[in-house]
Structure 1
């Protein structure tokens, strides 16, 4: 089977071939989005010295009015899922062309996500348990454990959403408009129920907003709203108009009661966040020709490939590195200015440079874990047919359950960490083995 979809409706076949063969700009978007997330988390890690000499922790940007408009720019999670949808559909169609099944696709994706998470959660739990045994303040250890696992929400959601790629790709090819309409209506309906009733439905958005962003990534892959410079029909003015209309819709939602802070809209994900994703879709389509030209240069291409190869390692380990750096500064008596003071702002660039200087070698050191996961995935013969499909489904469920348990309990809860690692190890074992 060709990587070109069998039901092209939004662009001619030539455009689809060109888009399917050239996804360097999407790789660049994923790498840049990851960088923004890491930098944002590093900036939000507020730490200071209490009057008694102890360590205080806070979320530096929380509640700051000036950050609200900034959040419309730095909230890149919708963009990441759009790019992930593009890349996921591209990989799935390539695997179909080789004769691989949907089970093969899900197994490969699950292994690459589950095993590195198990290592991070397990090692973080052991380090925090050692800190507690050495007499560290229990509340600070618990706070560190929560901060370490907080970014894991993304991993649980991404594991579930990417596992649905074969199913959602089929819906995309057969019922494209209907699938988008149903997801969008469900997102809006969930928000309205959450805002006007006492029903605890807000977190249903995790299973609606992110699949919707993934479907938009499928649209991008198949040439929807492709710019003329890429062989499509959309002019820059048309793309800017689309972005402007979506921005107007987002402003209308804010005026009707949706939060204006896009980080607040992340938890739980809302229709406002989905509309921000639509804005980002049009702007990315506008920027893709320039990104494609940039990615034809050897140095940017090599840098993006290296970032992609270590993306999961960087994401998993950046918060442990940030907290380790805070602990070192505190123990050695280095200055820890209160957030938003002049001294705090003056030290942000050195702080970000120090985080990068630690995260990059940590990612390189731990990259063997991801390579090991790929070797384990190809190392055993898989059970045939329905048995393999059942094992794969159970692997995904174990992975989501393990990550969710660590997220809710924190890395300082050693019994929960042990259970989470056991679930992740079971998921990794179930997804290991060679496909058909």
Structure 2
């Protein structure tokens, strides 16, 4: 089956807007003692919180992820694959780039801590380099749950995301009424899981872009619900965490975030016919496709250019520092974004071959058809999700100190996931069986493709 260009576009578009949004609101200034500070634009200039409605587009990434996962899992099952094999394959492709990124950042943190870099500065840098990590444990968990969620979808269809949304609303109400923030942790899976599950419905037909009535109702109803919750309820307009703002729409995801996610999904389906026609133009697709292929790399590394440019232009005093939020400050956002973009292209060009090399090495030494060890995979995923959650909430440092325990946890969890496939030595019977099984799996997929085409 040919790739769905619109799904690939949504993933690329979501990542690009996240990157631009983070860069746009990031400000760098000299502090009283000459040190660099990063004042919070959304808190200092409150009207900028409305901009988050444009840049908080991660619901569409989860929607596209659910659509793609549904097709991938269906093809794996048709070819005789198992849940362990499918989940493990997706986990490896997520964790290898993450492990490379985390390892290099942690190495830098360890060196800086040893040579005596200011702890406050190191803590700020460690937070900036981990601010995007909230996404990783959530997506890892939803990927692991895909076989179960997919089975529920096949039986109950649209009722599944509706039920998940209802439970999310109950959890949010309990958090607000009883002041029990731990209950809100459920909403990381439930709210983002609604968008992921709607991706199943989109692919299989219960939620169809060809029947615009339901998408239109979702777009209008979600937008009206969001407006009501902000205007009449306790929720802020910002869809990004603002320090000191309670409640938050993202930490944990709130009823307002759920409403906005539903509205975005509806609008996405309404826009699908026009955008699909546009993506059929090869000149447009040649721009979109490369971005989609490096979306994970962009997401992981996009804050490094901020640190590079801050050191090059702000520590040296070369960059002007107008008042935060002034007309001059906004005017300088254009060259700021341009320079960051150039640096990010250089970073991606350097890092992408390393990521690809790691994945190719792993696939070569442990073919997908090699025997699995489920008892290593599932604990490994749990340990990785815990470590990544710790980095997401507290950054890559503990008040300027090296985070030994979470770093060890991430290394251990990643190792367990990687070891869930047994290695096969070239020339061995096991290696031959694994390669034969892989060829059979590919042959079955090819036959299904030929049948589909005919």
Note whether the superposition's TM-score is higher than 0.5.
Answer: yes
How high is the TM-score relative to the length of structure 1?
Answer: 0.87
Give how far 1:32 is off: 0.8
Please say if residues 239 and 285 of structure 1, whose CA atoms lie closer than 8 Å, have aligned partners that are also in contact.
yes
Structure 1 pair 339–130 and aligned structure 2 pair: CA distance change class (3 A): farther
**What does residue 203 of structure 2 align with?**
221
Unaligned runs of 5+ in 2: 241-247, 424-433, 438-454
Distance 1:173 1:405 in 2: 34
Name which of 243, 255, 259 aligns with 2:236. 259
Show CA shifts across 1:139-189 (max 9, x none). 111111011112111111111112211111110001224322321111000
Is 2:126 aligned against 1:114?
no
Is 2:309 aligned against 1:328?
no
Structure 1 pair 241–37 and aligned structure 2 pair: CA distance change class (3 A): same
Distance 1:51 1:297 in 2: 53
Please say if residues 112 and 370 of structure 1, whose CA atoms lie closer than 8 Å, have aligned partners that are also in contact.
no
1:403-414 to 2 correspondence within 5 Å? 403-412=388-397, 413-414=401-402
- What SS is found at the alignment partner of 2:76? helix
- Larger deviation, residues 357-366 vs 174-183: 174-183
Structure 1 pair 185–233 and aligned structure 2 pair: CA distance change class (3 A): closer
Show CA shifts across 1:269-319 (max 9, x none). 112111111111111111111221122122332332212221111111111
Is 2:30 aligned against 1:49?
yes
Please say if residues 78 and 277 of structure 1, whose CA atoms lie closer than 8 Å, have aligned partners that are also in contact.
yes
Distance 2:422 2:282 in 1: 35
Is 2:255 aligned against 1:271?
yes
Give how far 1:72 is off: 2.0
Distance 2:390 2:262 in 1: 32
**What does residue 282 of structure 2 align with?**
298
Please say if residues 85 and 368 of structure 2, whose CA atoms lie closer than 8 Å, have aligned partners that are also in contact.
no
Structure 1 pair 403–222 and aligned structure 2 pair: CA distance change class (3 A): same
Structure 1 pair 428–391 and aligned structure 2 pair: CA distance change class (3 A): closer
**What does residue 60 of structure 1 align with?**
41
Structure 1 pair 428–225 and aligned structure 2 pair: CA distance change class (3 A): closer
Please say if residues 310 and 364 of structure 1, whose CA atoms lie closer than 8 Å, have aligned partners that are also in contact.
no
Is 2:393 aligned against 1:402?
no
Give how far 1:389 is off: 2.4
Is 2:433 aligned against 1:425?
no
- What SS is found at the alignment partner of 2:325? coil
Is 2:8 aligned against 1:27?
yes
**What does residue 206 of structure 1 align with?**
188
- Larger deviation, residues 244-253 vs 160-169: 244-253
Structure 1 pair 78–381 and aligned structure 2 pair: CA distance change class (3 A): closer
RMSD, matched Cα: 2.4
Please say if residues 383 and 410 of structure 2, whose CA atoms lie closer than 8 Å, have aligned partners that are also in contact.
no
- What SS is found at the alignment partner of 1:72? helix
**What does residue 170 of structure 1 align with?**
151
Show CA shifts across 1:102-154 (max 9, x none). 21210111001111111111211222333344443221111110111121111
Distance 1:72 1:93 in 2: 34
1:127-276 to 2 correspondence within 5 Å? 127-200=108-181, 201-227=183-209, 232-234=210-212, 239-254=215-230, 255-263=232-240, 264-276=248-260
Give how far 1:95 is off: 2.1
- Larger deviation, residues 293-302 vs 179-188: 293-302
Structure 1 pair 299–432 and aligned structure 2 pair: CA distance change class (3 A): farther
**What does residue 289 of structure 1 align with?**
273
Distance 1:150 1:174 in 2: 37
Give how far 1:222 is off: 1.6
- What SS is found at the alignment partner of 1:114? helix
Structure 1 pair 274–36 and aligned structure 2 pair: CA distance change class (3 A): same
The structure whose RCO (Cα within 8 Å, separation 6+) is larger is 1
Please say if residues 152 and 403 of structure 1, whose CA atoms lie closer than 8 Å, have aligned partners that are also in contact.
yes
- What SS is found at the alignment partner of 1:333? coil
- What SS is found at the alignment partner of 2:208? coil
Unaligned runs of 5+ in 1: 1-19
How high is the TM-score relative to the length of structure 2?
Answer: 0.83
Distance 2:187 2:254 in 1: 6
**What does residue 426 of structure 2 align with?**
none
Give how far 1:48 is off: 0.3
Name which of 345, 362, 379 aligns with 1:376. 362
- What SS is found at the alignment partner of 2:365? coil
